[in-house]
Chain A
Amino acid sequence: MLQYWTAILTEASIFAILALGIDMIWGWAGDFDLSAYAYFALGVYMTMVMTIGKPQAPVVYILGWHLPYPIAVVLAVIVVVAFASVVGAIALRSLREVHFSITTLGAVWAIYYAVENYTPLFNGYNGVYGLFDPLGGGLSYNSYHYLFLGFCLVVLFVVYLVVQRLSTSPFGRMVRAVRDDERAASVYGRNVFWAKYRTYLFGAGLAGLAGGLFAAYIGAFNPLDWKPTEIFVLYAAILVGGRGNPKGVVLGTFVVYVGFVEMTRYIPSPAARPELGPALRQILIGLLIVLMLKFRPSGLLPERLGNDGTVARRSWPERLFRTSPTEGDAVTSATAETGGEVAS
């Protein structure tokens, strides 16, 4: 039972990092990006081919290095960001909203089929596998996994702090201003493309980082593990938690992920119909997305906006010694009530 929860929490914390990255692109900048799962997958692949060493006979993949794990993850993130900079440059330059989503949808399927069919890259359909232990052995199976869970939680916490800080920083507020009214933001001298582009690259980088962690966790990765449609779970999680609010995104990921994994345990999955469980899960995710969008688009923890429309930022003493609700709170609840406009 303990191992079971260790596995679930490890995966949930890795996906929370990915969700934070996706939420930057969608929640802050308002760009509904469908290709983020490809960045995650690229992060996994790159980390693996840089740590597991030379490919054995029938298996082929690029690089095949034996780098220390942390260096491999950093390099993988750099590769992912470089890759996203190309897709982002195409998709963000002059395309918005639906056209942006279509372009990223095309991109993710193109990447998917290219990786699946072009074997020399990442061994195509069969995928890349290999045992690697970032700590170089010396620990039992269980204690390694407990330690890895702790490591993932620490990374998630650090990422959360950075994202939260960035969210309330002038940059975070500027990106939201661009999201809410591009024309007004550019009149005030903001470079709209540059704001969206930087957010996109940062989000993609977080997706790559999550991929780097996931690589160490699973040890084998093939195209079946990253059907681009899997990203919808994360969008459901972000919608449940609260789009644009890092705290909500982490909460949503844990609620949705743990909720769904727990629920699937009670769905009967007869041996003759192995697709039944996953299919029911996908149906629930689809319903969750539609219902959340319709009835509570701002999620459990809505994005907090100050009275001037920007993201509220209070200093620590203010938060500790606050006695009466501030103006900012009144506006926040007002935005929560008119939550229909949130999904832009």
Chain B
Amino acid sequence: MSIFWISLGQGLAVAAILALSSVAFTLEYAVSRVVNLAHGEVLTIGAFAAYVSETTFHQSIYVCALVATIFGSLAATAINFVVIERFRNQKSLATLIATLGASLVLQNLLLIIFGGASLSYTFSQGNLLHVGPFLWTTLTIEVMVSAVIVAILIYLLLQRTRLGKALRAVSQNRELSQVSGIPARAVVMQTWAVAGAISGFAGFLYGETVGTISPSIGNGFLLLSITAAVGGGLGRPYATLGGALVLGLVMSIAGTYVSSAYQLVIAFGFLVVMLLLKPNGMFVRGSAQMVRA
């Protein structure tokens, strides 16, 4: 039973990071109606930016996190500016294919710059702590606390700021909000910057929790983020947050009984069940019907 609780604790940490990553993914979808397959690369860029600032410039863990956030934000803004906005008047599938091309380019640029080998941060993992039935390191707790803080910040941004209000309006109807005097293009751009910042930070947390980073870490995490977002409710930040927590728990509970190598297989099973039962997301009201994005 104790192994169960330990892996559940580890699952909570991964779920916290997954929540950030998939909320960023869903925000991008909300304003641009695009499934951004280059989302994983934004995470990777954040992780590598932190790596460079740690190993080359010997910065503290907080500065590294900030650098990851900034670079993630820049990367996502660039993706939006160079790819997404250019395909805005085309069908969603064309944009999806274009982001796939962008993902290939970015991932392999990272591969050329940093090589294919796994790299790792040298931050201390801290002490082992028993918290209730869980077994966590100080670092894991810091990761979870910071993820919760970011989630609260996202909530405040969406509900209490002008940008959040405009964002929600644009996500419901871009043309109509444009007509009502909201600078839709700028709002979309800022949303991508915010989403990128969250992704970059999530990428840093992920690299820190897993221990090693390589140009392809974002790719595996992309699929989990998509699953969480679609399972919870694509384009809806709070539903996605719930979806990410459920998926994280499902994976960690299942992970105690089968090898963690099957993580993505489990995630896919979860995705299929969700798509068959609640294609609009488990936290979205509405019956199962034809889903088109």
| Cβ-based interface call for A337 (8 A) | no
| Cβ-based interface call for A283 (8 A) | yes
Find out whether the CB atom of A293 lies under 8 angstroms from the CB atom of B271.
no
Find out whether the CB atom of B94 lies under 8 angstroms from the CB atom of A90.
no
B86, B102, B267, B293 — most chain A CB neighbours (10 Å): B293
Give CA–CA (A343, B90) in the complex, Å. Answer: 8
- Kindly identify which residue among A97, A235, A282 contacts B293, using a CB–CB cutoff of 8 Å: A97
Contacts A99-B230, A229-B104, A289-B97 known; A94 to B290 CB distance under 8 Å? yes
| Cβ-based interface call for A139 (8 A) | no
Contact string against B for A residues 87-109, beta-carbon threshold 8 Å, 1 for contact and 0 otherwise:
00010011111110111011101
Find out whether the CB atom of B290 lies under 8 angstroms from the CB atom of A105.
no
B230 cross-chain contacts in A, Cβ below 8 A: 99, 102
Please give me the residue from chain B that is nearest to A96 by CB atom: B292
Contact string against A for B residues 80-122, beta-carbon threshold 8 Å, 1 for contact and 0 otherwise:
0001001101111110111011111101110110011000000
Distance in angstroms from B79 CB to nearest chain A CB is 11
| Cβ-based interface call for B210 (8 A) | no
Find out whether the CB atom of B105 lies under 8 angstroms from the CB atom of A286.
yes
Find out whether the CB atom of B226 lies under 8 angstroms from the CB atom of A114.
no
Binds B, one of A66-74, A144-152, A244-252, A273-281: A273-281
Give CA–CA (A257, B103) in the complex, Å. Answer: 21
Dominant SS at the A interface?
Answer: helix
| Cβ-based interface call for A297 (8 A) | yes
Residues 295-344 of A contacting B (Cβ, < 8 Å) = 297, 340-341, 343-344
Give CA–CA (A263, B279) in the complex, Å. Answer: 44
Dominant SS at the B interface?
Answer: helix
Find out whether the CB atom of A106 lies under 8 angstroms from the CB atom of B86.
no
Find out whether the CB atom of B275 lies under 8 angstroms from the CB atom of A103.
yes
| Cβ-based interface call for B123 (8 A) | no
| Cβ-based interface call for A117 (8 A) | yes
Distance in angstroms from B87 CB to nearest chain A CB is 7
| Cβ-based interface call for B155 (8 A) | no
| Cβ-based interface call for B261 (8 A) | yes
Give CA–CA (A257, B292) in the complex, Å. Answer: 34
Find out whether the CB atom of A289 lies under 8 angstroms from the CB atom of B100.
yes
Contact string against B for A residues 264-290, beta-carbon threshold 8 Å, 1 for contact and 0 otherwise:
000000000101100110110111111
A340 cross-chain contacts in B, Cβ below 8 A: 89-90
Give CA–CA (A280, B101) in the complex, Å. Answer: 13
| Cβ-based interface call for B149 (8 A) | no
Residues 76-126 of A contacting B (Cβ, < 8 Å) = 90, 93-99, 101-103, 105-107, 109-110, 113-114, 116-117
Find out whether the CB atom of B259 lies under 8 angstroms from the CB atom of A109.
no
| Cβ-based interface call for A61 (8 A) | no
- Kindly identify which residue among A110, A117, A286, A297 contacts B101, using a CB–CB cutoff of 8 Å: A286
| Cβ-based interface call for B211 (8 A) | no
| Cβ-based interface call for A129 (8 A) | no
Find out whether the CB atom of B108 lies under 8 angstroms from the CB atom of A282.
yes
Find out whether the CB atom of A98 lies under 8 angstroms from the CB atom of B93.
yes
Contacts A103-B272, A110-B269 known; A98 to B293 CB distance under 8 Å? yes
Find out whether the CB atom of B107 lies under 8 angstroms from the CB atom of A282.
yes
Give CA–CA (A289, B275) in the complex, Å. Answer: 29
Find out whether the CB atom of B276 lies under 8 angstroms from the CB atom of A98.
no
| Cβ-based interface call for B288 (8 A) | yes
B86 cross-chain contacts in A, Cβ below 8 A: 294
Find out whether the CB atom of A344 lies under 8 angstroms from the CB atom of B91.
yes
Please give me the residue from chain B that is nearest to A106 by CB atom: B268
Find out whether the CB atom of A106 lies under 8 angstroms from the CB atom of B92.
no
Give CA–CA (A229, B107) in the complex, Å. Answer: 11
| Cβ-based interface call for B265 (8 A) | yes
Please give me the residue from chain B that is nearest to A98 by CB atom: B293
Give CA–CA (A310, B93) in the complex, Å. Answer: 22
Contacts A94-B279, A294-B87 known; A285 to B268 CB distance under 8 Å? no
Please give me the residue from chain A that is nearest to B260 by CB atom: A117
Find out whether the CB atom of B227 lies under 8 angstroms from the CB atom of A106.
yes
Contacts A32-B97, A97-B93, A106-B223 known; A279 to B111 CB distance under 8 Å? yes
B93 cross-chain contacts in A, Cβ below 8 A: 30, 32, 97-98, 101, 343-344
A273 cross-chain contacts in B, Cβ below 8 A: 115
Find out whether the CB atom of B112 lies under 8 angstroms from the CB atom of A276.
yes
| Cβ-based interface call for A132 (8 A) | no
Contacts A103-B271, A110-B264 known; A96 to B291 CB distance under 8 Å? yes
| Cβ-based interface call for B127 (8 A) | no
Please give me the residue from chain B that is nearest to A94 by CB atom: B290
Find out whether the CB atom of A293 lies under 8 angstroms from the CB atom of B87.
yes
Please give me the residue from chain B that is nearest to A229 by CB atom: B104
Find out whether the CB atom of B87 lies under 8 angstroms from the CB atom of A97.
no
Contacts A95-B275, A294-B87 known; A106 to B94 CB distance under 8 Å? no
Please give me the residue from chain A that is nearest to B112 by CB atom: A279
Please give me the residue from chain A that is nearest to B226 by CB atom: A102
Distance in angstroms from B110 CB to nearest chain A CB is 9
Seed contacts A101-B96, A113-B265, A343-B94; 4 additional CB < 8 Å A-B pairs: A98-B96, A110-B265, A116-B261, A283-B105
